[in-house]
């Protein structure tokens, strides 16, 4: 049984990493040992789990289905072991889904305390600007922003930050600084992130004003949208968490500070139909405390 469990752990690592050699290095095994373990597992199942080429190892359809079921079994085993030990030590692997801009501008700068507090826990950040499927991607908790789609997932709100617009000093020197939302008609907008494809609705001294920004540059990833703003390519709309550092350094200037563009909610989303892992709950508790005064 132990050998079978070890084979399943090797399988899940190869599935996540996509390389026999990298998994062999991680686990201090030889590459032939890893390859033979996967081959024996496939033989016992009577199914091909991986498509192998000289450049990559990728899951077959059968392998992807098997991964979802195996990961749930291994997670349950880890939780059972954790409960029997009766200690507070978190072990195993915690997989967190997160967008690139929140990962790079907020999360990685705040992880040291969590990792130090849970030295036996491994953390995997699955960074993707597309909405991930928690079950098929094997994600224990995902950080999502804005309105949540209806699903079986369980969500917990961990923060809310204002949306705002900003531009670089260089852009403003060339184009001037807008004094009212109506002035934005004479400016170039960068269409990216949480407000991509939407009008900008401001609340301020003149009541509610909706602006349809003229965007010559559309970018799918919010992180690149902020970089475009820093490069002087136009006015960018983003949450305070995304702009905080650049506003503090003066690399970007907040525009229309007397007007509100609304707020962006942040949720921790757990897979539905199963209890949240203790490590996932501990991670969300940590973020709630750490981001309280952000």
- Residue 239 buriedness (CB in 10 A; 0-12 / 13-18 / 19+): buried
Average of per-residue pLDDT values in the chain: 87
Number of C-beta neighbours around residue 15 at 10 A? 22
Torsion of CA 10, 13, 14, 20, to 10 degrees: -70
CA 72/CA 66 separation, integer angstroms: 10
Contact 215, 227 (CB under 8 A): no
- Is the predicted pLDDT of residue 41 greater than 90, yes or no? yes
Q: Which of 71-80, 216-225, 285-294 has the lowest mean pLDDT?
A: 71-80
pLDDT tens readout for residues 171-207: 999 999 999 999 998 899 998 866 665 778 899 887 8
Tell me the pLDDT band of 150, cut-offs 50, 70 and 90: low
Write the Ramachandran bin of 30: left for phi over 0, alpha for psi from -120 to 50, otherwise beta. Answer: beta
Strand 189-192 and strand 235-239: the pairing is parallel
At 236-277, the pLDDT tens digits run: 999 999 999 999 999 999 999 999 999 989 999 988 756 678
Question: pTM of the entire structure?
Answer: 0.73
Domain 1-87, classified CATH 1.10.10.10, yes or no: yes
Assigned token pair, 53: 């080429």
Cβ 279 vs Cβ 140: under 8 Å: yes
What does DSSP say about strands 235-239 and 154-167: parallel, antiparallel, or unpaired? antiparallel
Cα angle value 62/67/73 (rounded, 5°): 130
| Region of poorest pLDDT, from 4-18, 115-129, 207-221, 254-268 | 207-221
User: Using an 8 Å Cβ cutoff, are 261 and 202 in contact?
Assistant: yes
Label residue 213 by pLDDT band (50, 70, 90).
confident
CATH for 160-265 (3.40.190.290, 3.30.1360.120, 3.20.20.80, 3.40.50.720): 3.40.190.290
Q: Domain map of the chain by residue range? A: 1-87, 160-265
Angle at 240 between CA 234 and CA 244, to 5 degrees: 85
CA proximity to 239, closest of 222, 259, 253: 222
Report the alpha-carbon distance of residue 164 to residue 238 in Å, rounded: 6
* Residue with the larger pLDDT of the pair 217 and 262: 262
> Per DSSP, what are the bridge partners of residue 211?
200
Q: Any idea which residue has 């204002």 for tokens? A: 162
- Output the CA–CA distances (angstroms, integers) from residue 193 to 93, 97, 121, 264, in the order listed: 29, 17, 32, 11
């Amino acid at each position: 049984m132990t050998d079978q469990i070890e084979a399943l752990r090797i399988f899940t690592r190869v599935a996540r990493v996509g390389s026999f050699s990298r998994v062999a290095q991680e686990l201090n095994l030889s590459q032939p040992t890893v390859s033979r373990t996967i081959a024996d597992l496939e033989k016992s199942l009577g199914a091909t789990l991986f498509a192998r080429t000289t450049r990559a190892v990728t899951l077959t359809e059968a392998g992807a289905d098997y991964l979802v079921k195996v990961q749930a079994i291994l997670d349950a085993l880890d939780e059972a072991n954790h409960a029997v030990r009766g200690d507070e030590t978190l072990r195993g692997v915690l997989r967190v889904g997160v967008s690139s801009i929140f990962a790079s501008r907020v999360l990685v700068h705040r992880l040291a305390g969590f990792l130090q507090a849970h030295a036996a826990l491994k953390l995997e950040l699955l960074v993707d600007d597309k909405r991930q499927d928690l079950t098929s991607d094997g994600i224990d908790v995902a950080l999502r922003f804005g309105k949540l789609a209806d699903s079986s997932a369980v969500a917990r709100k961990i923060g809310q930050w204002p949306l705002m617009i900003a531009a670089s000093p260089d852009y403003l020197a060339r184009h001037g600084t807008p004094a009212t939302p109506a002035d934005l008609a004479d400016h170039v907008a960068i269409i990216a992130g949480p407000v991509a494809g939407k009008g900008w609705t401001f609340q301020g001294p003149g009541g509610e004003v909706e602006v349809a920004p003229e965007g010559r540059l559309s970018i799918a990833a919010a992180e690149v949208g902020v970089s475009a703003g820093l490069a002087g390519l136009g006015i960018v709309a983003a949450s305070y968490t995304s702009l905080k550092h650049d506003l503090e350094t003066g690399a970007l200037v907040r525009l229309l500070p007397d007007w509100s563009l609304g707020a962006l909610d942040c949720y921790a989303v757990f897979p539905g139909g199963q209890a949240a892992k203790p490590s996932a709950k501990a991670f969300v508790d940590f973020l709630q405390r750490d981001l309280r005064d952000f």
